[in-house]
């Protein structure tokens, strides 16, 4: 009798292949990437067991089959996303991943899918869907054979067993995608609710702001790049001449060699770079670079080739929205960064004598192929990489061509400022870098991995002759180690602006600069002040 009972229970469990096949897929995925004992396999196993126990406590065939189909389909989707994320990034999904998704625009989402959708992932998705279909059909056809003689106690204890299994998942919830996604969404919604209640003013909370103005026109320009690592720029020693125009300007440029970003994604990196406070939301969004220069008497401009709105209003948009004049290019189709040049030239010709112009580029954001016009398709030969396959070769070539086009854009902006012969500087930096088949077998930036190419960024300064003549005291030591997290202090120093909270030891051009040691831990550079023995 026990043998017959066990056989029937086993048949019911195995019949629901729509649940077991995705679990087996996860097991193989984690096993393939090593150290699978730390992965959420136990949580997924308990989840499958709970669904099966609960499902087999349902007496009515229609409800039983409907529950099975819905549960199998949802579990298959969850398993696929977990496995696909490991396949692409060799890392598990985290809260940071989910927050980035919530701030991603439709265009970025479509480009992400187009970039990473591979035949292997399509086959994986097809097999997961197939497992749901065949598992459901098998159970549907054998429902009465499997159910009629089943001991009633199995049905009675099904609910209890499923509850016990779900309770056992609780200690593992941080590694279980459904609960992780729910927690991340709740945190994100809570933050958004807090932001909605904030009063973000034109001048923020800055006090004692002083600008040492002159009678000359002052035009200061910040160019924010996107996903551009210094590792692929010829001007930083890359073996390909991806920056020919900036190379010609090399005697005029201050090229900082050791600048990094504290985060390897746009939301966190620019949130840190463009504000004074980083933790408290009210302080963060009322201590931004734009508000500081508004208070200092500048006319502030924000010219962007990036969409301002994702699923929610992005943090960068919240920082930029207090600029006195803003322009967002038409992003209804692929628009190259040269689209910013027309509004930029117009801004240069307008009347205000004191201007801060921020230009936010698409830079070398994935998909790289869409970041440059055809005439910049120069690099087509086999590139140098330790990952020898066609996808790596194509990605590197496309990225290098995007860097080449970015060189043209940055040089064009400098040229326009140069024509005016005003007191000016142009500062170019990227929000974060990109690892393009350099240390890992993929092309991406991700906070979870945070490789060196993702953190090492270009940081270039150009000064007009009028500027250098009036600022003889700045220190131009290009070997200084610097974090983008302290950017607001450097820009203030460059612009002769001081305020309550300004720290000259955090300005890369200050004689009082204090270098801070940087290490990578969990995708972030942490800073500790060097001490003298």
Q: How many CA atoms lie within 13 A of 102 on its CB side?
A: 19
Q: The tokens of 331 are what?
A: 């992003």
pLDDT tens readout for residues 55-98? 777 777 788 788 878 888 888 888 888 888 777 776 777 766 77
Cβ within 8 Å of residue 80, ≥6 positions away:
22, 25, 124, 125, 128
Contact in structure between 169 and 46 (CB atoms under 8 Å): yes
- The DSSP annotation for 478-498 comes to TT-EEEGGGHHHHHHHHTTEE
* CA 288-290-294 angle, 5° bins: 120
383 vs 78, which has greater pLDDT? 383
Average pLDDT in the chain: 82
Percent of the chain with pLDDT over 90: 42
Q: How many CA atoms lie within 13 A of 92 on its CB side?
A: 19
pLDDT tens readout for residues 441-453? 888 887 777 789 9
* All domains in the chain, ordered by first residue: 2-193 (no CATH), 212-501 (3.40.720.10)
pLDDT tens readout for residues 253-276? 999 999 999 888 888 888 889 998
pLDDT tens readout for residues 425-474? 999 999 999 999 999 888 888 777 778 999 999 999 999 998 987 777 78
CB-count burial class (<10 Å; 0-12, 13-18, 19+) for 453: buried
Nearest CA-CA partner of 488 in 338, 337, 292, 305? 292
**Confidence grade of residue 523 (pLDDT, cut at 50, 70, 90):** very low
DSSP 239: S
> How many angstroms separate the CA atoms of 421 and 495, rounded?
17
Q: Is-above-0.85 flag for pTM? A: no
> How many angstroms separate the CA atoms of 132 and 72, rounded?
6
Q: The tokens of 421 are what?
A: 């012969």
Residues recorded for the chain: 533
pLDDT of residue 313: 47
Query: Once rounded to an integer, what is the mean pLDDT over residues 351-369?
Result: 92
CA 52 to chain centre: 38
Instruction: Assess whether pLDDT exceeds 50 at residue 4.
Output: no
301 vs 17, which has greater pLDDT? 301
Instruction: Assess whether pLDDT exceeds 50 at residue 102.
Output: yes
> How many angstroms separate the CA atoms of 318 and 35, rounded?
41
């Amino acid at each position: 009798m026990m043998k017959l009972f066990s056989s029937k229970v086993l048949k019911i469990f195995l019949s629901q292949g729509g649940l077991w096949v995705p679990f087996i897929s996860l097991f193989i995925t984690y096993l393939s990437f090593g150290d699978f004992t730390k992965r959420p396999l136990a949580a997924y196993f308990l989840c499958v067991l709970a669904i099966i126990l609960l499902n087999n406590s349902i007496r009515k065939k229609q409800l039983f089959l409907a529950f099975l189909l819905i549960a199998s389909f949802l579990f298959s989707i969850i398993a696929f996303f977990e496995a696909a994320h490991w396949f692409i990034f060799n890392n598990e999904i985290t809260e940071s991943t989910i927050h980035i998704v919530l701030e991603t625009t439709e265009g970025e989402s479509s480009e992400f899918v187009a970039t990473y959708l591979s035949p292997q992932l399509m086959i994986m998705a097809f097999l997961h869907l197939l497992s749901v279909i065949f598992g459901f059909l098998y159970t549907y056809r054998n429902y009465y054979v499997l159910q009629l003689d089943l001991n009633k106690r199995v049905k009675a204890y099904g609910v209890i067993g499923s509850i016990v299994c779900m309770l056992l998942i609780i200690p593992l919830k941080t590694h279980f995608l459904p609960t992780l996604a729910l927690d991340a969404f709740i945190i994100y919604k809570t933050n958004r609710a807090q932001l909605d209640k904030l009063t973000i003013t034109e001048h923020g909370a800055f006090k004692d702001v002083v600008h040492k103005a002159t009678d000359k026109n002052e035009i200061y320009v910040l160019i924010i790049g996107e996903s551009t690592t210094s590792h692929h720029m010829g001007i930083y020693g890359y073996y390909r001449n991806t920056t020919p125009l900036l190379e010609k300007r090399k005697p005029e440029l201050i090229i900082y060699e050791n600048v990094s970003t504290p985060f390897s994604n746009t939301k966190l990196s620019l949130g840190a770079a463009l504000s004074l406070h980083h933790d408290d939301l009210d302080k963060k969004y009322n201590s931004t670079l734009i508000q500081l220069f508004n208070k200092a008497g500048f006319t502030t401009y924000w010219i962007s080739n990036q969409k301002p709105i994702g699923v929610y209003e992005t943090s960068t948009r919240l920082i930029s929205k207090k600029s006195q004049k803003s322009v967002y290019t038409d992003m209804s189709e692929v628009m190259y960064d040269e689209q910013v040049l027309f509004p930029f030239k117009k801004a240069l010709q307008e009347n205000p004598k004191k201007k801060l112009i921020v230009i936010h580029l698409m830079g070398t954001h994935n998909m790289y192929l869409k970041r440059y016009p055809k005439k910049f398709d120069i690099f087509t030969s086999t590139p140098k990489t330790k990952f020898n396959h066609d996808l790596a070769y194509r990605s590197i070539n496309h990225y290098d061509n995007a860097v080449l086009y970015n060189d043209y854009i940055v040089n064009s902006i400098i040229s326009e400022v140069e024509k005016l012969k005003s007191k000016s500087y142009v500062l170019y930096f990227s929000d974060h870098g990109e690892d393009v088949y350099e240390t890992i077998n993929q092309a991406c930036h991700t906070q979870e991995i945070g490789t060196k190419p993702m953190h090492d960024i270009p940081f270039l300064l150009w000064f007009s002759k009028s500027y250098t003549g009036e600022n003889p005291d700045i220190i131009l030591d290009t070997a200084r180690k610097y974090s983008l997290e302290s950017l607001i202090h450097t820009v203030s120093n460059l612009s002769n602006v001081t305020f309550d909270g300004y720290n000259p030891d955090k300005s890369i051009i200050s004689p009082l600069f204090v270098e801070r040691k940087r290490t990578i831990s969990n995708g972030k550079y942490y800073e500790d002040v060097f001490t003298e023995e």
